[in-house]
Amino acid sequence: MSKKVAFLQGNEAAAQGALYAGCNFFGGYPITPSTEVAEVMSIELPKIGGKFIQMEDEIGAMAAILGAALAGSKVLTSTSGPGLSLKQELIGYGCIAEIPCVIYNVMRGGPSTGMPTGPSQSDVMCAKWGTHGDHPAICLTPASVQETYEEVIRAFNLSEKYRTPVMVMPDEIVAHMRERIVFPEPGEIEVVPRKSPTVPPEQYKPYDTSFGDVPPLASFGSGYKFHVTGLNKMQDGFPTTKAEIVQAEEERQVRKVDANVDDIVTFEEYLLDDADVVVVAYGSTSRSARYAVNVAREQGIKAGMFRIKTFWPFPDKQIKALASKVKGIVIPEMNLGMCSLELERCAQGKVPVLGIFRVDGEPINPDQILEKIKEVK
């Protein structure tokens, strides 16, 4: 039997991916250019007994999904730019309280209202540093409609596996373009369930590290009683200011991601075996990069592409390896150098990092990238 195919927009594919992953609660607030996600979820969730709620603002939307997640739901919110800024305090709450949730953020021009309908890639640092304090960070940057569908599923799996908020950040081009998508059959892509406690309710502690860095999470209303707070906490969830407990607790929360980078980090390598120059790209910009690399090859230049699919944790190990064998790195991005700084950190001065930065609401084209490739000596 042939698989179901459709011609979908990136945002529509994101909603369908969430449904495949078992999402049964959406809390959001309309904002360009992500509103189509909410529109699809408002139609589809009631059909499966799920819940859709439009809150009064982005803060309320983030609070709603955290509450629903604690009650046992798989949850999603969608936003962009200013909405992501409003969500940051509660994203921090989700990190410290270790609440699984997925935040789908379509990157548009900024700061503030910026350019609501123009593409950008300027939120990637916000994914790691937007909320204050030390905390885990996972951020995925899809480059196609099919990949958006699949990466949203992976985001749900990672959020449940590591008990943390996960962000999916397509740029506006990926979110609004339409492409053919092939739907997987049920069970074809793994869907990770929430790890539930195995101890009796009276023995349950929501942050019991005897189960490892990611303790099981009970659902409110399932017979388990426990405390949740935004303060530093003990294993029973109640606040503490004891230095040794706070230190160990914060280190564990970061470690559960940092110690599992090989499980989390994904990337694509294209024509890198003999490359002298590598173009590092992500999102829609990688599509221009691939074209430019192909043209460079036709002109006798040994170029290749490294595409970042998981922006956080950053693929440090892979970039360091590339820096040791190529003559230069080219980084095209629709911001003023956010990824470039990470590449320079990883390259450690071994090779030059040449940036192409564009924030005028227009995509970076292959000719711009090809011209920069030719500057690598």
Question: Residue 171 gets which letter from DSSP?
Answer: B
* Fold of the 5-182 domain: Rossmann fold (3.40.50)
Mean pLDDT for each consecutive 10-residue tract of the chain (377 residues)?
90 98 98 98 98 98 98 98 97 98 97 94 96 96 98 98 98 98 96 95 95 96 95 96 97 97 98 98 98 98 98 98 97 98 97 97 97 94
Same fold? 5-182, 265-373: yes
Q: What is the pLDDT of residue 345?
A: 97
Structure confidence by residue, pLDDT tens digits, 71-92: 999 999 999 999 999 999 999 9
Q: How far is CA 97 from the centre of its chain?
A: 19
Structure confidence by residue, pLDDT tens digits, 141-190: 999 999 999 999 999 999 999 999 999 999 999 999 999 999 999 999 99
Q: What is the pLDDT of residue 21?
A: 98
Cβ atoms of 101 and 73 closer than 8 Å: no
Q: What is the pLDDT of residue 1?
A: 59
Give the three-state DSSP class for 102: strand
Please report, for the chain, the start and end positions of each structural domain, with discontinuous segments joined by +: 5-182, 265-373
Q: What is the pLDDT of residue 146?
A: 98
Question: Residue 57 gets which letter from DSSP?
Answer: S
Question: Backbone dihedral region of 48: left (phi > 0), alpha (psi from -120 to 50 degrees) or beta?
Answer: alpha
Residues 6 or more apart whose Cβ sits within 8 Å of residue 98: 163, 164, 206, 207, 214, 215, 217, 253
- Whether the predicted model's global pTM rises above the 0.95 cut: yes
| Secondary structure (DSSP) of 139-169 | EE---SHHHHHHHHHHHHHHHHHHTSEEEE-
Cis peptide bond prior to 30, omega within 30° of 0: no
Question: Residue 42 gets which letter from DSSP?
Answer: H
Burial of 286 (0-12, 13-18, 19+ CB in 10 A): buried
Cβ atoms of 150 and 141 closer than 8 Å: no
Task: From residue 145, give the alpha-carbon distance in Å to each of 9, 43, 235, 299.
Answer: 7, 20, 41, 31
* Fold of the 265-373 domain: Rossmann fold (3.40.50)
> Is the sign of the CA dihedral 314, 154, 46, 6 positive or negative?
positive
| Order of strands across the sheet that contains 310-312 | 51-54, 25-28, 75-80, 101-106, 165-168, 139-140, 310-312
Q: What is the pLDDT of residue 2?
A: 79
Q: Where are the alpha helices (DSSP H) in the chain?
A: 10-20, 35-44, 58-70, 82-97, 124-129, 145-162, 172-176, 243-258, 261-264, 285-298, 316-323, 338-347, 366-373
